[in-house]
Structure 1
Amino acid sequence: MKTDEQDRPDVALRGIRVIEMGQLIAGPFAGKTLGEFGADVIKIEPPGAGDPLRNWRMLKEGTSVWWQVQSRNKRSIALDLRSPEGQDIARQLIASADVLIENFRPGTLESWGMGWDVLSELNPGLIMLRISGYGQTGPYRDLPGFGAIGEAMGGLRHLTGEPGRVPVRCGISIGDTLAALHGTIGVLTALHHRKVNGGKGQVIDVALNEAVLNVMESLIPEYSAFGAVREAAGSALPGISPSNAYRCVDGYVLIAGNGDSIFKRLMQTIGRDDLAEDPGLADNAGRTKRVVELDAAIGVWTATKTVVEVLDALGQARVPAGKVYTVADIVADPHYRARDMIVSQTTRDGYALDVPGVVPKLMGTPGTIRSSAPGLGDDTDNVLAQLGLSEKDVDVLRSKGVIA
């Protein structure tokens, strides 16, 4: 089932076959990442509407443009997993796969006869990535969980927004994406372990709330050591000073002047040599005590200048700073283009679409966009033929609605 390109020596995951059963964001993002580095990703979708992401947000030619990014480098088979025949075909696919990705509620695969006990006996080398709201164990395992709920339970939502106001989301489904990235790390780790330890597979259990908690930096130890409950702080970075967003004549800039030498250069640039040489501000601890004073001083300076003027001055002083970009700014920025982070992808409907490039950048085995996102069931016949089913078998399954 692998493509010719997967045999190239510069394809990192050549020969790795992934069966993706997930929908929407978390599971499919993990599949996307593996596919970009050469894995053969076969996506199983329900006949009819397919993955709901096909119809999320803005549609072009009847399909979400988000789908065009999330499902590139994948093959689609439309298969009814609720039918015995569909479950049998899925088991056949999994029997020869390296990785299975699923993000159903715990117990769903077991109800279809595809629990770990069954699948690991069928394929001892199988690596099974399971992404769910709260994990496969624990008192909350059966509760429905979305990324937004994981962000709330993981502590992130409490910190986003302005002090004293309603918590806000960061604007994207960050909880799902964090879970997907943790899952991808788990898959790659398990593939290495399988290679050097006798070919044994294993389950990777990723909970949305735990993936969020894992990136919450000093949140837990500060509470343990000091009883400190970190609160929302708007655009500031509490305890790291100065680091904030500052208003200019025509917008905002982010300035990170929290390094000791960087702070001095920042203060000299804004005409506050007195603060640059103040011994009480020589380190972060002292600056944090006077953060209101420092933010006010920086704000007075930026308020009289344009964003470009601020960035030019701070660039010359080697102070980290950046404009708060809109998507229009991102697409117009030559640096993104130079690093192939905005690339053109032709969809199967025939139109060109600007999409994000591949991250991370591997010099020896770079990720690629080998194929555009599939239509629902585009690869059903081909995948089933490779399983050994005849045209007659396929016609019968189609007539029963098992495939589409």
Structure 2
Amino acid sequence: MGGGLAAGALQGLRVIEMGQLIAGPFCGKTLGEFGADVIKIEAPDGGDPLRSWRLVKEGTSVWWQVQSRNKRSLALDLRQPQGQEIARLLIAEADVLIENFRPGTLESWGMSPDEIHALNPGLVILRISGYGQTGPYRDLPGFGAIGEAMGGLRHLTGEPGRAPVRVGVSLGDTLAALHGTIGVLMALYHRNVHGGPGQVIDVALHEAVFNVMESLIPEYSAFGAVREAAGSALPGIAPSNAYPCQDGWVLVAGNGDSIFKRLMGAIGRQDLGDAPDLVGNAGRVARVDEIDTAIAAWTVVHTVQQVMDILAAARVPAGKVYTAKDIAEDPHYRARDMMLPQVTRDGYTVEVPGIVPKLSATPGSIRSSAPHLGDDTDTVLAEAGLTTEQIGLLRTKGVIR
């Protein structure tokens, strides 16, 4: 389906995914793209809610087509003791377990880490939750948006003096998933290379956000400085901002010393480029309003493309603010296989994002499209040793679908 079909770097890895929506499943998606066999356990009565989130085509969310590619769907009721027994049977033969339930859920099913490791000592268990598995907030409900708020991100988004705004995507969930993926790979390396035991990876949504907050806390610790929202500007680094054009906006990053001189030459403000006090960043920060005004006065009389062309010739980093349409039509995205056609199990073709990161010898790939609920139930259970009669009885009891 695109992206290359070489053997994946994680070929032979068995992953059981119990999570739903975004954080846990995004980790499963990433592992699956690089060859892992990801078995997604879903509730028989509707499955993962992401199946119906946002825009729906042929009864299924197109977001689902990205998030669940390269996965197999097992419709299994984990609330029933027989469902829990089957889960334990699968976990006993797996390398990785992913879950993003509220802390204590696995324990209530008789699947605490200690109980699971008694079955499978080498299992790597990834647990993603709002506040982590310990601490005074562990039992509070937490979504990605709350993690973004507690992690410090929401306070910095938006315009000064106005309400904090959402980044536009579920960034808190995705950051937690990426940290979880890193943790899984490190734990597998420790197990496979150093002979270590399986271990538990505890990822809290707010901590994953907090981990990318740069100098937020050192600045507060050293100076008592509380960083505030600054709109599109990059506080303390100048010039770096969004500037208006005749037909849109362009981002310009002229904050390198030599880049700043070239930028000022390109916009006809060599006086600023030659000013002794603007040679370094500290001086430019002191006069940032003046510099931003000068850049905006130049961009506003040009189109976005004119600005891009002029600044590219001057070797000044600049970027158009892309919409989905811009991305879909951009030749660079297509040249790097970042727009791939995927045939869904409903028979239509939809373009989806390509694979990141790009590995030279074992690139990721789309081996299978996102499954319908329970598509792989019989196959997965047969692989686990259940007979046709046993599978039929479980279906009759509503344990599977």
Per-residue CA shift, 1:73-97, capped at 9, x if unaligned? 0000000000000000000000000
Work out whether 1:257 is the aligned partner of 2:254. Answer: yes
| Structure 1 residue 283: Cα displacement | 0.8
Deviations 1:105-144 (A, max 9, x none): 0000000000001001100000000000000000000000
Partner residue of 2:109 out of 86, 89, 112: 112
Corresponding residue for residue 283 of structure 1: 280
Alignment of 1:170-249 (within 5 A): 170-249=167-246
1:385 to 2:355 alignment? no
| In structure 2, C-alpha distance between the alignment counterparts of 1:91 and 1:194, rounded to whole Å | 21
SS of the equivalent of 1:280 reads helix
Name which of structure 1's ranges 193-202 and 362-371 shifts more when overlaid on structure 2. Answer: 193-202
Which residue of 365, 369, 374 corresponds with 2:371?
Answer: 374
Residues 161-194 of structure 1 show CA distances to partners (whole Å, capped at 9, x for unaligned) of: 0000000000100000000000000000101000
Tell whether 2:25 aligns with 1:28: yes
What SS does the corresponding residue of 1:49 show, helix, strand or coil? coil
1:350 aligns with 2:358: no
Q: Which residue of 2 aligns with 1:298?
A: 295
For the residues of structure 1 that align with 2:382 and 2:256, how far apart are their CA atoms?
61
Aligned-pair identity (%): 76
Question: Structure 2, unaligned stretches of length 5 or more?
Answer: none
- Structure 1 equivalent of residue 144 of structure 2: 147
Aligned residue type for 2:190: H
Gap change, CA 1:38 and 1:315, over 3 Å in 2: same
> Residue 103 of structure 1 corresponds to which residue in structure 2?
100
- Aligned residue number for residue 60 of structure 1: 57
Structure 2 letter corresponding to 1:40:
D
Please give the secondary structure, in 2, of the residue aligned with 1:217: coil
Alignment counterpart, residue 121 of structure 2, candidates 100, 120, 124: 124
TM-score normalized with structure 1 length: 0.98
- For 2:69 and 2:152, locate their aligned partners in 1 and report how far apart those are by CA, in whole Å: 32
Residue 10 of structure 1 deviates from its aligned partner by 3.6
2:400 partner letter: I
* In 1, Cα distance between equivalents of 2:338 and 2:164: 31
1:274 to 261, 271, 277: 271
Checking the alignment, whether the CA contact within 8 Å between 2:173 and 2:205 is kept in structure 1 is yes
In structure 2, the residue matched to 1:5 is none
- Tell me which residue corresponds to 2:86: 89
- Preserved CA contact (<8 Å) 2:7 2:35: no
Deviations 1:277-330 (A, max 9, x none): 111000111111110000000000001000010000000000000100100000
Q: What is residue 44 of structure 1 aligned with on the other side?
A: 41
Q: Distance in 2 between matches of 1:367 and 1:20?
A: 19
Structure 1 CA distance for aligned equivalents of residues 182 and 259 of structure 2 = 34
Superposition CA RMSD, Å: 0.8
Query: Could you tell me how far apart the structure 2 residues matched to 1:199 and 1:287 are?
Result: 52
Alignment correspondent of 1:69: 66
Contact 2:6-2:363 at 8 Å conserved across structures: no
CA distance in 2, matches of 1:261, 1:48: 61
**Whole-Å separation in 1 of the counterparts to 2:264 and 2:99:** 52
Aligned residue runs from structure 1 range 159-174, under 5 A? 159-174=156-171
- Quote how far apart the aligned CAs of 1:11 are: 1.8
Aligned residues: 397
Q: 1:356 to 1:254 in 2, by over 3 A?
A: same
Point out where structure 1 has 5 or more consecutive residues left out of the alignment: 1-7
1:14 aligns with 2:6: no
Partner of 1:3: none
CA contact (8 A) 2:39 2:74 kept: yes
SS at match of 1:229: coil
Deviations 1:247-298 (A, max 9, x none): 0000000000000000000000000011101110001111111100000000
CA distance in 2, matches of 1:110, 1:17: 22
Name the CA distance, whole Å, in 1 between partners of 2:283 and 2:88: 62
1:311 corresponds to which of 308, 312, 329 = 308
SS in 2 for 1:301: helix
Looking at structure 1, the residues matched to 378 and 131 of structure 2 have their Cα atoms a distance apart, in angstroms, of: 36
The alpha-carbon deviation at position 48 of structure 1 amounts to 1.5
* Aligned ranges 1:319-338 → 2 under 5 Å: 319-338=316-335
Structure 1 residue matching 2:357: 3-state secondary structure = coil
C-alpha separation between the residues in 2 aligned to 1:19 and 1:384? 13
- The Cα of 1:197 is off from its aligned counterpart by 2.2
Paired with 2:148 and 2:42, the residues of 1 have a C-alpha distance of: 27
Q: Which residue of 2 aligns with 1:4?
A: none
